[in-house]
């Protein structure tokens, strides 16, 4: 199990940006073997900083990262697979050579690296592109190569910073299938994403980070159950103050006003909502991950 415990990180100000920034404010979470963990949060919430600390690219000011109960060291990290935010491929190198090169850097034999590269090219639909220079590939195909580079040495933990960003649905499926296979083999996978529907579809569990702290974590079903029984009313463009005196809280998303409450007289709430504007939704429906996210970071 990977355990992230109370990580704190503060970036000192610089001449161009003199104010110091607290990037991590005691973030904690765990990821079990074979678990796909979706790491979500607004821009600047602290996802990349956390992943960099796990990979040893950055030092935390305090807190710890441990694997199977032991602190992580450089030897462990050599057995991790990492897709950094700043993609790191050699643009002029051929696709196959590139994957083999990174495998060799991890100490693989020539025969093992050849076999792993062949398999990954096949799984990621890149066999035909094996001899193309990386710079000749589309963004989506470059990202497939980046994933192959992260996977070639058969890592025991995968940390991927927005691996799905900018990909078409076919490429998303190709990457997702490969990651799910690794997960089934017992590898913990952490990936960050702003594509919440994708996270909801793929992940066993989700962590929502806000301002450097974990504000909600658990299975999507568990996060939903915590909100179950809540009446949710969505009214479009209602009159101001329409919900005054009603129980619960109203959040505003464009011209949509979302009232959530537990208890209260639902018939009275419905009457008020209908009078106020166009009722788009009324019911005790379970929230989507997007709803949970907005609520958690509000």
Ligand X SMILES: Nc1ncnc2c1ncn2[C@@H]1O[C@H](COP(=O)(O)OP(=O)(O)OP(=O)(O)O)[C@@H](O)[C@H]1O
**Site size for ligand X, by CB under 6 A?**
11
Q: Strand 36-41 vs strand 205-210: parallel, antiparallel, or unpaired?
A: parallel
Q: Is the dihedral of CA 235, 241, 244, 247 positive or negative?
A: positive
Minimum CB distance to ligand X smaller for 7 or for 149: 7
List % helix, strand, coil for the chain (3-state, nearest 5).
Answer: 35, 30, 35
- Secondary structure (3-state) at 158: strand
Residue of the chain from 19, 43, 74, 169 that contacts ligand X (CB under 6 A): 43
- Asked if 250 contacts 288 with a C-beta cutoff of 8 angstroms, the reply is no
- Window 58 to 117, contacts with ligand X (CB under 6 A): none
Taking CB under 6 A as the rule, does residue 46 contact ligand X?
Answer: yes
Stretch that binds ligand X, among 30-38, 39-47, 231-239, 241-249 (CB under 6 A): 39-47
The region of 38-46, 101-109, 147-155, 179-187 touching ligand X under the rule CB under 6 A is 38-46
160 touches ligand X by CB under 6 A: no
Whether 83 and 147 have beta carbons less than 8 Å apart is answered as yes
Cα atoms in the Cβ-side hemisphere of radius 13 Å centred on 173? 4
Which has the closest alpha carbon to 262: 295, 298, 229? Answer: 229
What's the min distance (Å) between Cβ of 47 and ligand X? Answer: 4
Strands, sheet with 205-210, edge to edge from the N-terminal-most edge strand: 80-83, 157-160, 189-192, 36-41, 205-210, 213-219
**Is residue 207 a contact residue for ligand X (CB under 6 A)?**
no
**Of the listed pieces 28-36, 37-45, 219-227, 233-241, which binds ligand X according to CB under 6 A?**
37-45
Among 27, 38, 48, 187, binds ligand X (CB under 6 A): 48
Binding residue (CB under 6 A) for ligand X from 1, 44, 181, 274: 44
> Of these, 10, 11, 84, 218, which contacts ligand X (CB under 6 A)?
11
Contact between 23 and ligand X by CB under 6 A: the answer reads: yes
Piece in contact with ligand X (CB under 6 A), picked from 44-52, 213-221, 258-266, 278-286: 44-52
**Distance (Å, rounded) from C-alpha 154 to C-alpha 120?**
11
Residues making contact with ligand X (CB under 6 A): 11, 21, 23, 41, 43-49
């Amino acid at each position: 199990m990977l355990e992230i415990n109370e990580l704190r990180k503060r970036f000192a100000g610089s001449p161009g940006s003199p104010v110091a920034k607290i990037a991590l404010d005691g973030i904690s979470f765990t990821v079990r073997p074979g678990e796909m963990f979706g790491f979500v949060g607004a821009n600047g919430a602290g996802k990349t900083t956390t992943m960099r600390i796990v990979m040893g690219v950055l030092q935390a000011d305090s807190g710890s990262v441990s694997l199977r109960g032991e602190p992580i060291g450089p030897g462990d990290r050599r057995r991790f697979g990492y897709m950094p935010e700043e993609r790191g491929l050699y643009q002029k190198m051929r696709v196959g050579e590139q994957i083999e090169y990174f495998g060799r850097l991890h100490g693989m034999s020539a025969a093992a690296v050849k076999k792993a590269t062949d398999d990954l090219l096949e799984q990621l639909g890149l066999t035909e592109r094996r001899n193309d220079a990386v710079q000749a590939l589309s963004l989506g195909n470059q990202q497939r190569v980046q994933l192959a580079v992260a996977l070639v040495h058969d890592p025991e933990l995968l940390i991927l910073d927005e691996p799905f960003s900018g990909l078409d649905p076919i490429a998303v499926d190709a990457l997702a299938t490969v990651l799910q296979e690794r997960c089934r083999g017992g590898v913990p996978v952490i990936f960050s994403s702003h594509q919440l529907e994708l996270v909801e579809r793929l992940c066993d569990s989700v962590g929502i980070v806000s301002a450097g702290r974990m504000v909600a974590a658990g299975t999507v079903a568990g996060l939903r159950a915590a909100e179950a029984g809540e009446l949710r009313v969505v009214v479009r463009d209602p009159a101001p103050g329409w919900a005054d005196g009603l129980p619960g809280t109203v959040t505003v998303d464009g011209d949509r006003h979302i009232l959530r409450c537990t208890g209260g007289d639902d018939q009275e709430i419905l009457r008020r909502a209908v009078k106020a504007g166009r009722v788009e939704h009324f019911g005790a429906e379970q929230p989507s991950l997007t709803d949970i996210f907005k609520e958690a970071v509000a």
